[in-house]
Structure 1
Amino acid sequence: MNSVPEHWIPFVAVHADEGKRSVRLQRAAMPHPVDSHAVRPRTELLRPGLDVEAPARQRAYYVNEEEVPQAGSRLTVAFNRTRGRDGQVVVWLGARRGAGRGEATSGLAFDHLVDTAPDGPGAAG
């Protein structure tokens, strides 16, 4: 397995109820590439439950499967600034949700096949 960007927060499919076919997506964590701790979301959009002292089951964060398209979702947070009619500056923090670019754009891959130069008596070269 290779590494993915640090800001990538995965969601894994889990059964919504025991014995039923419905599925929800549960926030998971990727290991930090250098330290031994898990990468945590920085913004409030994906942090619910992480800052409380509670059992792991109560800190879980779920998203309904139908809310996320096959290509995934991309969440962005940015400050916005404008001026009103009276010239007063107004600043606010906005969040946008857009379509993702698919699983392949995360960079996560397993079992790479790598071409190697042939060695040995019959090798051309």
Structure 2
Amino acid sequence: MYESDWLLREADDGSFLAGHRDIAGVYFAHGNSNLDVDGLVTNAAATAYVLTRTGKLNLDAYSGGAYWTHYGPTGWYVDAAFQGTSYQGEATTQSARLPTTGNGFVTSVEAGYPVPLPLGPGFVLEPQIQVIDDVQRG
């Protein structure tokens, strides 16, 4: 048997840690691409090549993901995101139909810290570091 207790407590400013804040969310997306493919085909009658429509490509992508950003009291932040995508499509020619499927996953973690510049209010240099892992399988 597994049991777990969770306690979340707010600080006086409404955050879980005084002076910190968090933003999180989920998203979903759909993308579609329809392409016409042109190619050179031998024209035996003219003993030359002719540029003509040789096929089509249709690709759909369905994505879902989640993100979270944590801001510290001095302006530093840590940002994390994950997205999964399912690809489905079909390439066709006059004589063939080629269905294709695949999956993709991307994970990102980023951190940064604002450094005020002595050029006036709002001038900030914000060094950041980011690590991304992107995997595509088809």
Q: TM-score, normalising length from structure 1? A: 0.25
- The structure that has the greater radius of gyration is 2
As a proportion of its length, which structure holds more strand? Answer: 2
Q: TM-score, normalising length from structure 2? A: 0.24
